[in-house]
Chains A and B, each alone.
Chain A
Amino acid sequence: MKNKTRTLSRRKFIAGAGAMSGMLLTGCDTELYTPPKIRSGLMGVSDVLTMASQRLLMSGQGLVKEFETGDITKDFPAWGRTNPEDESYQKLASNEFTDWSLSVGGLVNRPASFSLQDLKRLPSRTQTTMHICEQGWSAIAQWTGVPLTTLLEAAGGVSQEARYVVIDTYDGWYDAYDMFDVVHPQTILAYGLNGKDIPRGNGAPVRLRVERHCGYRHLKFVKSIQVVASVENIGRGKGGLLSDYNWHWYAGA
């Protein structure tokens, strides 16, 4: 089957985002209330209740609280994986990521590759937010990066069938984000932490910020991005590495 791609201008993309919130309010688009693969039994019921109720409360796409620069936590933790062993990553890191590039492919109208410099030339957003880890910790940091929508527009916009944005990383992680999170203004690909380049332990050179979720979905060491219509062929088909291993896909909690 051929992909019927339709060019989406920036205006159309944003109009699409608005229409999406509209659909949410009227409750037409069940996709935005449910994970890509609903777990079986009562656990699935619980997942949908949680996600649907929270998505309903967030349907206005309001921003998460932004803190003052004075609230920034000293020594923001470098938790989880702090240095991917991957050979190509180590090679890129030894060269301060000057050869790093981010491919944006799949259901975008002009698949493209972006160097770190390219990303930094795109319009940026800086936000001081609270990072909440599912394990229990939280800390405040200032992130600077490109809104994901801006990047997708730079790749020509997404086609009409686009449903998820899949991110792969150098530490072997992958996760899929639905359009509700993709279009949120605070969903950014961050290259700066507290006014400096992101250190290795926090995901150099680029990590995702998807503020309304637990830390495990803010993927570090971003390698590539693809826009897809379905997550069936991604990992085990449940929409991410952790959901493949029986975690909630929706991590608003």
Chain B
Amino acid sequence: MELKQTGSWVLRHSYNVRICHWINVICFAYLFLSGIMMFLQFPELYWGDVGFRGYEAVFKLSNWGLSWEESDALGNRQWGRNYHFLFAWIFLFNNLIYVGWNLKNRHFSRRMWPQRDELSKDNLKKELKQHLRLRAAKGDAATKYNVFQKFSYLIVIFALFPFMLISGLAQMPAFTAISPELIDLFGGRQSARTLHAISTVLLVLFVVIHVIEVFVAGAVNHIRAMITGKYYLSTKEKT
């Protein structure tokens, strides 16, 4: 008796998902880097409307081994501002297109919305164990998003992305005229800045786990699938 590896190609990602995914990768890289370049030149976070060097801070980079002057020398907020706003626009349009497109072709409801059986306690337990053991899905399950993947994607797309956008707008001087209520909603202009930073940490955490999972599930196969759309589904058969 021997094991023979066979398999077939399945279409995993539609072309709009692939295009929007890679545009988002570029946007995220630029938005993160340009955000960091701005933050380094004002490396403290505050709560409320007021915050400046010398004011009571909720986070100081200098407490983490990098003095204000050292941090300032590493940053470049002119570059940061130019690219942050440019890629924020590209990011916004890209995600509006992505969401509109996939609402229309029912990608969200068909592939991303958790099914009732997936939400059962037993299934959640089983999938959590698989995740913690870094076991990748096999067979038919490998062609679908698993329940934690669905949760995380939906949270990122429909909660964190809009939150980043709105907490960004709440930091802009124009919004003291356009909608001071929006700034108050965050608890003040500095609170919006702090929450923008916390939300960044959450997004970075998502990206790190996302990339780890890609490696767990087979980097070549998954990255190829996100480029060409085709995923190689292997099956082991007894002969």
Contact = CB atoms under 8 A, between A and B. Distances in A.
A23 B206 CA distance: 46
Interface in A129-144: 129-130, 132-140
Contacts of B204: none
Given A134-B81, A136-B38, A77 B52 contact: yes
A135 B41 contact: yes
A67 to B, nearest CB: 8
A46 interface: yes
A129 to B, nearest CB: 7
B86 A43 contact: yes
Contacts of B54: 75, 77
A57 interface: yes
Nearest to A67: B49
Contacts of A135: 41-42, 77
A49 interface: yes
A64 B180 contact: yes
Provide the main secondary structure of the chain B interface: helix
Contacts of A43: 82, 86
A8 interface: no
A251 interface: yes
B176 interface: yes
Contacts of A77: 52-54
A80 interface: no
Which of A47, A49, A62, A65 neighbours the largest number of chain B CB atoms within 10 Å of its CB? A65
Interface string A29-70: 000000000000011011101100010011000111100000
Given A138-B51, A140-B49, A132 B42 contact: no
A68 to B, nearest CB: 12
Given A137-B51, A138-B190, A129 B171 contact: no
A137 B194 CA distance: 12
Contacts of A54: 172, 174, 178
B9 interface: no
Interface string A181-217: 0000000000000000000000000000001111000
A134 B42 CA distance: 10
A130 B177 CA distance: 11
Interface string A140-166: 100000000000000000000000000
Interface in B73-131: 77-78, 81-82, 85-86, 89
B65 interface: no
A65 B180 contact: yes
Contacts of B44: 136
B189 interface: yes
Interface string A215-253: 000000000000000000000000000000111100111
Interface string A62-95: 1111000001010101010000000000000000
Given A211-B173, A212-B174, 11 more contacts: A43-B86, A45-B89, A47-B85, A79-B52, A130-B49, A134-B81, A136-B44, A138-B51, A139-B52, A212-B176, A252-B172
